Amino acid sequence: MEEDDFLEHLVLLKTICLSAEAKDEPHVVAVASKNTYGDNRPVPIASLRLSVLPMISLDGFEFIPPVAFELKSGTGPVYLNGQHLILEDDEEYEARGGWLAEESLSSSAVVEEDTVTTFNSS
């Protein structure tokens, strides 16, 4: 494996959960990612409420960082958890149609009112 292999970053979102201190109001989490079609308007991906559905488990929702999360409704805080994969795209693997996960780091973020949270690849 050579040094100059191309590296790709991937964020796999796994859970989104409300803080025990969040108000009992609808919380809608939206995401803006460069791998979104056309315009970059944030798109709602989760709708939670403390007295109804305080968390959701996702089956590895993939995003290419940087990914920006924001609250469209609610005041939070809302916790997002996932894995940050650093992928190796060398020729052998490309030929095999797969990727090699070189490193996997836990990744997390908090979104609150009037903030935009970005997962960066560093």
How far apart CA 17 and CA 34 sit, in angstroms, is: 24
Q: Is 3 in the site for a copy of itself (CB under 8 A)?
A: no
Residue closer to a copy of itself, measured from CB, 3 or 97: 97
Structure-token pair, residue 90: 């060398």
Q: Is 2 in the site for a copy of itself (CB under 8 A)?
A: no
Q: Is 72 in the site for a copy of itself (CB under 8 A)?
A: yes
Residue type (1 letter), 61? F
Q: Are 78 and 19 contacting, i.e. CB atoms less than 8 angstroms apart?
A: yes
Q: Are 48 and 20 contacting, i.e. CB atoms less than 8 angstroms apart?
A: no
Structure-token pair, residue 86: 């650093």
Of the candidates 11, 69, 74, 76, which one interacts with a copy of itself according to CB under 8 A? Answer: 74
How far apart CA 117 and CA 83 sit, in angstroms, is: 16
Q: Is 66 in the site for a copy of itself (CB under 8 A)?
A: no
How far apart CA 28 and CA 72 sit, in angstroms, is: 5
Q: Is 57 in the site for a copy of itself (CB under 8 A)?
A: yes
Print the binding letters for residues 15-54 with a copy of itself: x by CB under 8 A, - otherwise.
x-xxxxx---xxxx--x-x-xxx-----xxxxxxxxxxxx
Binding site for a copy of itself (CB under 8 A): 14-15, 17-21, 25-28, 31, 33, 35-37, 43-63, 72-74, 79, 81, 83-84, 92-93, 95-101, 104-108
